[in-house]
Amino acid sequence: MTYKEAGVDLEAADRFVELLKGLSSRTHKPWVLHGVGGFSSLVSIPPGFRRPLLAAATDGVGTKLKVAFAMDRYDTVGVDLVAMCLNDLLTIGARPLFFLDYFATGKLAPERDRALMEGIVRGCQEADCPLVGGETAEMPGFYLEGEFDLAGFAVGVVEEERVVDGRGIRPGDRIVGLASRGLHSNGFSLVRRALLEGMGLELEQWIEELGRPLGEELLEPTKIYVRTVLGLLEEFPVKGMAHITGGGLPGNISRVLPEGCKAVIDRGSWTPQPIFGLIQRAGVPEEEMWRTFNMGVGFVMICDGDVAQGLVEEASRRGEEAFLMGEVREGKGVVLEG
């Protein structure tokens, strides 16, 4: 009896590692000393930092993977994996230093797995972040046929004096939103129940208000804000930032507010993408929508009122859809108005 007969093909795994070496090399930077292929990777701190601090984050793609399985399409969820980790790092002003992935499946599938890894590489290139390694686990009998799971791990670096932690936020500050691409990678258990079970829609079905099939909309990858936001931080004194994921605007903005401050959000200052209206019509209450989804805002920046308009204009010049969406007042929590 052999390992291969038990369902684990070591030769296929070796071929996959060789593929990863080639793909990941596209993302490498001078500070990557040793990448994919060894027992661990070796990375140095880039030059120019006086008191560098390391930041770390980990995340997954969640049940959005179920949509990828059903669509048999895997070229976008790798981007999601990178985005969910690196956007979190970004909230304290950290520059991505490196990224690793964990990929576990019942059986390796070359075409599927290459598409998946090319998505991860594309996300790393978009964020200017090296992919330095990871783990591929073939686990027969553990996952349903054709399914897999993903996890991402990222480390960044930030100058100690430039950490953005929200402590300087004061009443009178303004809140700037950067638009999302739609759902990103949160709330898909509710999305699938509302649209596929509740409304009986099919992933291949053309939805007029979306202008494309439902499955394509649902697999739209999470936007990566790294290049834009790091550029903005070079020009503007930003006090606090939030990546809008599970918990929506109320749950995530509240994480960066100091004691005695509340965020007042004007919901009329931007227009959520049509997918959110479709989900709400399926029977999801408005309050549940706002505490589950990003509702069209993927990233939030809080700054002094006298620089907020300039920040919006510069973000727009860099290709983002940016808008003033609220202000900080005395109080507690997050209030949605309009």
Give the model confidence (pLDDT) of 99-111 as tens digits: 999 999 999 998 9
Cα distance between residue 333 and residue 264, in whole Å: 9
- Please report the pLDDT score of residue 24 as a whole number: 65
For the chain, domains (ranges, CATH) are 10-162 (3.30.1330.10), 174-337 (3.90.650.10)
Site of tokens 């834009």: 228
Q: Residue 280's pLDDT is what?
A: 97
Cα–Cα distance, 14 to 145 (Å, whole number)? 21
For tokens 């985005």, name the residue: 83
* Nearest alpha-carbon partner for 115 in 139, 143, 150, 142: 150
Q: Dmax of the chain from CA atoms? A: 72
Distance CA 133, CA 33 (A): 12
Instruction: Pinpoint the alpha helices (H) of 237-329.
Output: 248-253, 274-281, 286-292, 305-317
DSSP 220: P
Residue type for 126, please? E
- Position 133 scores a pLDDT of 84
Using the 8-state DSSP alphabet, how is residue 267 labeled?
Answer: G
Q: What is the pTM of this model?
A: 0.93
For 74, which DSSP code?
-
Per-residue pLDDT tens over the stretch 156-169: 999 999 999 999 99
Single out the residue of 243, 85, 79 nearest to residue 154, CA to CA: 85
Query: Tens of pLDDT along 293-338?
Result: 999 999 999 999 999 999 999 999 999 999 999 999 999 999 999 8
Rounded (10°) angle between helices 226-235 and 305-317: 140
Label residue 165 exposed, middle or buried (CB < 10 Å: 0-12, 13-18, 19+).
middle
pLDDT of residue 34: 62
Q: Across all residues in the chain, what is the average pLDDT?
A: 92
- CB count within 10 Å of CB 333 equals 12
Two tokens, residue 55:
């930041």
Distance, first Cα to last Cα, the chain: 67
| Amino acid 223: pLDDT | 98
Q: Which residue has the higher pLDDT, 277 or 13?
A: 277
The count of other CB atoms within 10 Å of the CB of residue 289 is: 18
**Which tokens go with 145?**
């046929």
